[in-house]
Structure formats: structure tokens, C-alpha cells
Amino acid sequence: MKPEALIEFKQGADGLEIVGSGAWTAANAGRLDALVEAAPRREERHVKFDMARVREFDTYGAWLLERLLRSCGKDLVSPQGLPDRFRALFDKVHETNRRGVSPGIRRNWLLGGVEKIGRSTEGAAEDAVRYVAAIGAFATALGEILLNPRRLRFTSLVYQLDRVGLRSVPIIVLITLLIGAIIAQQGIFHFRRFGAGDYVVDLIGILVLREIGVLIVSIMVAGRSGSSYTAELGSMKMREEIDALRTMGRNPIEVLVLPRVAALVLALPLLTFIGSMAALYGGALVAWFYGGMDPGIFASRLSEAVSISDFEVGMIKSPFMALVIGIVACVEGLKVKGSAESLGAQTTTSVVKSIFSVIVMDGLFAMFFSAIGM
Amino acid sequence: MLDLNTSLAIRLNDLVVGFGDKIVIDHLALDVVAGEIFGLVGASGGGKSVLLRAILGLVPKRQGRIEIFGVDRDSANPHDLQELERRWGVLYQQGALFSSLSVFQNIEFPMREYLDLSPRTMREVATAKLEMVGLAPEDGDKLPATLSGGMTKRVALARALALDPQIVFLDEPTSGLDPIAAGEFDALIRTLHQTLKITVFMITHDLESLRTVCDRIAALADGKIAAIGSMGAMFESEHPWVRSYFRGDRGRSLLRRAAS
């Protein structure tokens, strides 16, 4: 089927005649747009319009007609023959786009790059201030709770403990068990070549208790619980719930942040312990089935290989990891602005930042412990 | 087939919608005439929004028939459904603007999806729409989070009108606006109705909008249409809920003002 003609340009002796017909609607807007653009420019000559045969007309048709009129320099002339039922719409559209859309400011790409660096530096500085302020506010709230323990939101604390502690046990046990098993398998496989297969127990024991247990658990908690803290606080911020709390004279740090961070600080050592045990268990299973080491021998070698200080090193680190994860998650959550996009961006930032901080902290702790000889 | 020349824009027959044990819409029948401004009132939580969402196909119905411009969602082919979805615009109660897009991008979104237009034309038509709903072109680059309640509603209306729909559904268009802004919004709906020749289906609680804007009103009570007709018919209805709604203190004072 041949599409109907929408517009015709008739070159007459006394000037240009523009004849419109058919449906000047959204469905034909693309075609009409091209036709209007292709219109001969005849500003100086006489232009006549005949719109009587336009059957349908909507805002798109009205705007393209208006654009055609303006391009012909006939701004003040109305299109002859436009059926009356379309007149009101045309008059309405005729009034629009008068001021012209201001073009966006064009930026030099070099200056733009410098500007970006400047802005992110500024952002980093603001962030540093924000984090110091958050730690301060958290410490103040904690101090007030310690002076007046009845202000502690016990229900909220228990609820958060359940969420971030108890409910993450299955996944943490599963992952750490697998990691322990993988380390044991690799250890046995490589140590065997120089007949030192039994030393895999030392490897697993020290590695898991000192480093892997706490690291894996912290990273998982940052991904699992830190992200949900950020998303929760962020959407509360978006819906003005935080402001509502504040106007009721309640400090959001005390009501929302403190129970969450406290729950993490309590839960993470427990999870670290459970995770470390699961990793050792996974290692023992692999040593038994793959390395042929009896579980009894594994246990007795383990008790020789590791000292209590290895265990302590892992456990001492865990509440600090929890503190970092909790504070990063809450600060990023409170930074959320109005849009859904910013909620997503802050949640990502929260997870990336907390995992990064956990690993940096772990490095600092390693230096500290070797300096004090633990 | 989508029939735009039909005299009935919406035709509901024996419609039943429920959740679990609860029947929200109970064997409801309703016709909306093409080209009219139709107002739906009802108690909060009485199923107005559910009815709207059922018409839009957002909640499943249990029974009955929903026809919009002669298209029944159950038996329509995908092409007709697409065509239908292009011919309606919806103004949600909270605006439901895409928060990560600017005002212009929000209005241009349906155009980008359905029409093949140059960016320049899209921007110009979007500007025209923005000015038609009473905003300035400068507002186009703002993000939804920075808009006031009244502006959000106007932008949402501009987006609902982006494709020049045949019918727009408005869910409490004036709720949350001050009386002046609400009055202006009512006037805007009237003007756009006249210039664009659209059918308007609006849910509202605002007695003033019902009186000034709507051609016909239906009162929804207990999942059924309790009364339907002009404002006068509402005042005459003997249904207990309709009586307390229209002849309560606020309704009476409105009537007095209308009379004087």
C-alpha cells in the first residue's frame, strides 16, 4: 500500500503553494518531519497554505506545521483552510517554543577532564569530612547509650542480630567450608611432590585462623548485610523517613545506625568463629578423603601446629572489620539523594568501599601483629 | 481491532476483581463515553485504584470483560494491544516519573519508544507539551527529585500526553496540591480536553474538581457503582454512602457556593 501524501509543494506562477492532506498525527510524524525539512525555502516569495484536506491532526502535526510556517517566515500568517476543529490545538502549539531551547553549555574536553579531577578531589575531601563526622556522631551516640543504657534500642538490636547474624550462618558455613576444602586440596596436591603432604594441616590452620576466616566472612557480610543497610537507609532517606525521625527529636544515628552497627560488631566475631571452624572442617574432610589423613591425626597435628595467638589474631580483627563495614554502609546510605539511580550507585559504592577498607585494615593489622610478635 | 470512532471509550461488563478472600470489585458494569470527562469517586480503600489498575491490566480480573476502544485485552492480538497502549496515557498518583531521567527525557521516553523522530523534533514537541501543561522550557533539564508536588503532577501529565493519547487516566490528579494549584490543574485538564479532544477518566476526591471538570460522575461503593450521572444526580442519590459524601458538610457548602 502506498502511503498517503501528507504534504505537497506546488510551484505556481504567483508563488509556492503548500497543500497538506491526510493524517498529521504522531503515527506519521517521522515521515512528516522529513517532508517538512525538505520543504523548499522561499522566504522572499509569496507562500500560500491549503490545509483543508487534513483529516487528522494532533500536537505533532500542529508543531510540524508551526515549524513549517516559521521556516517560511510566515510566523504571523495563519495556515489557510485548517479545519476549525483543529484550530484550538494549533493556536495552543503556536504559542510554544517561542523562547527557543537554550543550548547546553559546551565544555572543552580538556577542561572537562580537569574539572572532573577537581570535582572528585573535592568529593574525596567532603567524604573524609563526612566519615570523620559520622564516626564522631556514632561515638557520641554510643557514649550516650553507655551513660544511659535504657536508651539502647534492644528490640531493634536483636532484630538486626537475627538478620545479619543468624540468617547468614548457612551461606557463611557453606562458603567457608568450600574454601577450606579447596585450600586443603591445593596444599596436599603441591606439598605431596616433596613429601610434605602432612604440612597441609599447618597451612590450613594458620591461614584460616589468622586471615582467611575473618576476611572471607567480612567480605561476605559486606556484600550481604552492608549492601542491605545502605539500600534500607537510602530508601528511608528518599522517602523522608530520616527527616521525620529528626523532626520527632530522635537522632537517626542513635535510632538507625547504632543498632545496625552494634549488631554487626556483635555478629561478625561469632560468624568469624563459625566460618573458621567450618573451613577447618572442610580442610579435614579433604585431608581425609583426598589426602588419606585420619581425622584424629588431623586434629592432633592441628593442635600442635596452631597456637592460641593465631586464633586470637583472627578474632581480634573481626569487630574492627564489622565497625568499618557498618559505618561505611550507613554513611553511604545516608548520602542517597532523590533518584533510584543514586540509590543503586550508593549501594555499589558501599560494597566496594567496605571490601576495600576491610582488605586495607587486614594489611595494617598484619603489620601491627608482626611488630608486636603475635 | 482498535476502533477510535466508537462512541464508547471504555466498556466494563460484569467485572470481578479480588485478592484472596476479599472481593474488591463486585460484578461491576460501567460505560465511559468517548470525549467526556468521567469522574470516579469512592471511599479511601474502596477499590477505585484497583478498578483503574484492572482497566489498565495491572491487576488480574477474576471475571468479566474490559473493552477499551473496542479492544478486549483477553482476545486482542499483540499488535492491537501495542496500538492501544500507545493510545492511552496514565497519570499516577505520585507522578511515577523516572527519577534518573530529566524532565525532557521523561516526556521524550514514550516518543523514543514508539515513534521514529529526529532528536530535534522530539525536543521541540516535548517543549511544546511542557508549555502546554504550564511549565517553562527551562524546567526541562531538571531532575524529578528537584520538582515541587504541583510541578511533578504537571510533568507527569505532559508525559501521559506525550503520544497524544485518545484517553488519559488520572489517578487523583489534584491530591496533595493546594486549592489554587488544584484549581489551575482542573482548568488545565479542561483546556487540554478541549484542545486535544481526549477522553478523560479521573479518580478524584476533590468535590470542586468533580463539580467544575467532570461531565459525568460515578460513585463506587461496596465494589459496585452506587450512583452515576451528573453532579445533580449525585445530590439526589439516596444511596447512604453517596448521600454522606455529597450531602455531608463539605458537599453542602459546595452546593451553596455553586448555587450562589
**B72-110: pLDDT as tens digits:** 877 878 888 877 888 888 888 887 888 888 888 888 888
- pLDDT score for B229: 82
Contact B115 A59 (CB under 8 A): no
Contact B117 A58 (CB under 8 A): no
Which range, of A274-278, B222-226, B256-260, averages the lowest pLDDT? B256-260
Query: Hey, of A57, A82, A91, A93, which one would you mutate to test binding to chain B, going by the most B CBs within 10 A of its CB?
Result: A93
- pLDDT score for A1: 46
**B149 and B215 share one domain:** no
> Which run of H or E residues covers position A134?
helix A109-147
Tell me whether A83 touches chain B (CB under 8 Å).
Answer: no
Tell me whether A14 touches chain B (CB under 8 Å).
Answer: no
C-alpha distance across the termini of chain A, in Å: 86
Domains of chain A are 7-94 (3.30.750), 130-367 (no CATH)
The alpha carbon dihedral of A164, A170, A173, A179 has a sign of negative
Query: Hey, of A37, A92, A336, which one would you mutate to test binding to chain B, going by the most B CBs within 10 A of its CB?
Result: A92
Residue positions counted in chain B: 260
Please state, in angstroms and as integers, the Cα–Cα distance from residue B77 to each residue in B1, B55, B60, B237, following that order.
Answer: 9, 17, 18, 41
**B177 and B158 share one domain:** no
Chosen domain end from B137, B164, B191? B164
B232, part of any domain: no
Highest mean pLDDT out of A17-31, A183-197, B9-23, B220-234: A183-197
- pLDDT score for A371: 94
- Which of A95, A101, A337 lies nearest to residue B137, judging by beta carbons? A101
The beta strand positions in B63-178, using DSSP E, are 63-68, 71-72, 88-91, 167-171
Type of residue found at A286: V
Reply yes or no on whether the pLDDT at A100 is more than 70: no
**B78 and B15 share one domain:** yes
Query: Hey, of A28, A55, A339, which one would you mutate to test binding to chain B, going by the most B CBs within 10 A of its CB?
Result: A339
Give Cβ neighbours of residue A154 (< 8 Å, ≥ 6 apart).
none
Contact A339 B143 (CB under 8 A): yes
From A204, A193, A197, A191, select the one nearest A292 (Cα to Cα): A197
B155, part of any domain: yes
**B133 and B55 share one domain:** no
> Which residues from A are below 8 Å from B116, CB to CB?
30
**B110 and B218 share one domain:** no
Contact between A201 and A273 (Cβ < 8 Å): no
Q: How many CB atoms lie within 10 A of CB A186?
A: 13
**For the segment A310-327, what is each residue's pLDDT rounded down to a tens digit?**
999 999 999 999 999 999
**B223 and B113 share one domain:** no
- Which of B99, B163, B194 lies nearest to residue A26, judging by beta carbons? B163
**B133 and B201 share one domain:** no
Chosen domain end from B138, B164, B190? B164
Contact A30 B145 (CB under 8 A): no
Residue positions counted in chain A: 374
> Which residues from B are below 8 Å from A102, CB to CB?
137-138
B13, part of any domain: yes
From B215, B246, B253, select the one nearest B202 (Cα to Cα): B215
From A245, A243, A255, A248, select the one nearest A145 (Cα to Cα): A255
**B79 and B199 share one domain:** yes
Q: Is B9 helix (H, G, I), strand (E, B) or coil?
A: strand
- Which of B145, B164, B195 lies nearest to residue A337, judging by beta carbons? B145
From B215, B218, B111, B228, select the one nearest B160 (Cα to Cα): B111
- Which of A25, A99, A339 lies nearest to residue B164, judging by beta carbons? A25
What residues are paired with B88 via a beta bridge?
B167
**For the segment A334-367, what is each residue's pLDDT rounded down to a tens digit?**
988 877 788 999 999 999 999 999 999 999 999 9
B178, part of any domain: yes
Grid-cell match 531532575, residue found: B143
> Which residues from A are below 8 Å from B197, CB to CB?
85
Which range, of A14-18, B116-120, B185-189, B212-216, averages the lowest pLDDT? A14-18
Shortest Cα–Cα distance, B50 to chain A (Å): 24
> Which residues from B are below 8 Å from A84, CB to CB?
none
CATH of the domain at B187: 3.40.50.300
Q: Is B76 helix (H, G, I), strand (E, B) or coil?
A: coil
> Which run of H or E residues covers position A157?
helix A154-164
Give Cβ neighbours of residue A222 (< 8 Å, ≥ 6 apart).
A325, A329, A351, A354, A355, A358
- Which of A26, A101, A337 lies nearest to residue B123, judging by beta carbons? A101
- What per-residue string of b and e applies to A84-112 under the rule 16 or more CB within 10 Å gives b? eebeebbebbbebbeeebeeeeeeeeeee
- Which of A63, A85, A104 lies nearest to residue B124, judging by beta carbons? A63
B21, part of any domain: yes
> Which residues from A are below 8 Å from B137, CB to CB?
97, 99, 101-102
> Which residues from A are below 8 Å from B152, CB to CB?
none
Which range, of A52-56, A323-327, A370-374, averages the lowest pLDDT? A52-56
B252, part of any domain: no
Tell me whether A86 touches chain B (CB under 8 Å).
Answer: no
User: Residues B126-138: what's their mean pLDDT?
Assistant: 83
- Tell me which residue range forms the domain holding B145: 95-164
What residues are paired with B22 via a beta bridge?
B19
- What is the C-alpha separation between B255 and B260, in angstroms, rounded? 9
| Closest residue in B to A57 (Cα–Cα) | B196
Chosen domain end from B121, B138, B164? B164
**B120 and B24 share one domain:** no
B158, part of any domain: yes
Reply yes or no on whether the pLDDT at A11 is more than 50: yes
Contact between B10 and B201 (Cβ < 8 Å): yes
Tell me whether A64 touches chain B (CB under 8 Å).
Answer: yes
CA B248 vs. chain centroid, Å, equals 25
What is the total count of domains within chain B? 2
Chain mean pLDDT for chain A: 86
Query: Hey, of A24, A86, A89, which one would you mutate to test binding to chain B, going by the most B CBs within 10 A of its CB?
Result: A89
- pLDDT score for B126: 86
Contact A101 B144 (CB under 8 A): no
Please state, in angstroms and as integers, the Cα–Cα distance from residue B87 to each residue in A29, B82, B164, following that order.
Answer: 15, 9, 7
Grid-cell match 508536588, residue found: B149
**B213 and B147 share one domain:** no
Contact A58 B125 (CB under 8 A): no
**B1 and B124 share one domain:** no
**B4 and B132 share one domain:** no
Query: Hey, of A96, A337, A342, which one would you mutate to test binding to chain B, going by the most B CBs within 10 A of its CB?
Result: A96
Note the helical H segments in B118-247: 119-132, 149-160, 179-196, 207-212, 231-236, 240-246
B237, part of any domain: no
| Cα-only R_g, chain A | 35
